[in-house]
Amino acid sequence: MTDSLALDGRGPLHEQIRRAVCAPIISGAWPPGRRVPSEHELMALFGASRMTVNRAMRTLADDGLIVRRRRTGSVVAAATGDRAVMSIGSIRATVEAGDQTYSYESLARRHARASDDSAGRFKIAAGTPLLNLSCRHFAGGRPTALEDHWINLAAVPEASDEPFDKTPPGEWLAARLPWPKSQYVVTALNAGAAMAKLLDLAPGTACLKIDRRSWRNGVPAAFVTTLYPGTGHALTGEVAPP
């Protein structure tokens, strides 16, 4: 079956080799566990140098399609459960992508100390100074999301001096925390009375809740809860072979 591998002549050689080996894997012709030709075999097959073949195979391994082991060679990886890449953009970007005008309203801004439930979910020492921001986002004048931020002032002290009346906390944080480590938890919940009123919904309407915890340099930096009307917002993502 290795004979049927063929280059398509388009693009760099290492890409062609990667595609040639990738094709029978994603088509199912090579089932998980099947042996993939060794680098030497591919060198002979395609007339490429080992470094070029190695780069193609390494890319496939990085993408999780094959598993490489010394001496035994490479095999097609077992298909794991999906790992979908969900794009969680800023609310402004989401609204403006739908050709609606974005606006934002600050509902509350208060200092607090970690002691109540926020300390528990945040995993920080009790007494840590926090800044709590509550705000509402509008798409074309209609409320589209509620956000509740808990910023760890020990990790992000600059937040103390920021009024957050013009810049939404989410955007401000994104600029201050480039490439944070973040964890997301997505659930559904019924809107309570206050929440429903703020979102202009009937009480009990299903909403999408996205909890996000972010760290900066290993220190918990922010805990954000975002609430969307369930029917008005969708989290989308995709997984695709390379």
Partner DNA sequence: TCATACTATTTGTATAGACATATCATCGCC
Partner DNA sequence: GGCGATGATATGTCTATACAAATAGTATGA
Binding stretches for DNA (CB under 7 A): 12-15, 36, 38-40, 47-52, 54, 57-58, 61, 68-74
Residue 234 interacts with which of DNA, a second copy, none, CB < 5 to 8 Å by class:
a second copy
**What is the residue type of 15?**
E
Nearest residue (CB) to a second copy, 85 versus 193? 85
177 binds a second copy (CB under 8 A): yes
Residue 201: HSE in the Cβ half-sphere, 13 Å Cα cutoff: 24
Q: Retrieve residue 67's tokens.
A: 């598993």
Residue 54 interacts with which of a second copy, DNA, none, CB < 5 to 8 Å by class:
DNA
- At 199, is the secondary structure helix, strand, or coil? helix
Among 72, 87, 115, 160, binds a second copy (CB under 8 A): 87
Q: What is the spatial distance between Cα 94 and Cα 145, in angstroms, rounded to a whole number? A: 11
Are 235 and 88 in contact, with CB atoms under 8 Å apart? yes
From 78-86, 107-115, 128-136, 146-154, give the range in contact with a second copy by CB under 8 A.
78-86
Q: Retrieve residue 148's tokens.
A: 């509740």
Among 8, 11, 12, 31, binds a second copy (CB under 8 A): 31
98 binds a second copy (CB under 8 A): no
Token pair 């900066």: residue: 216
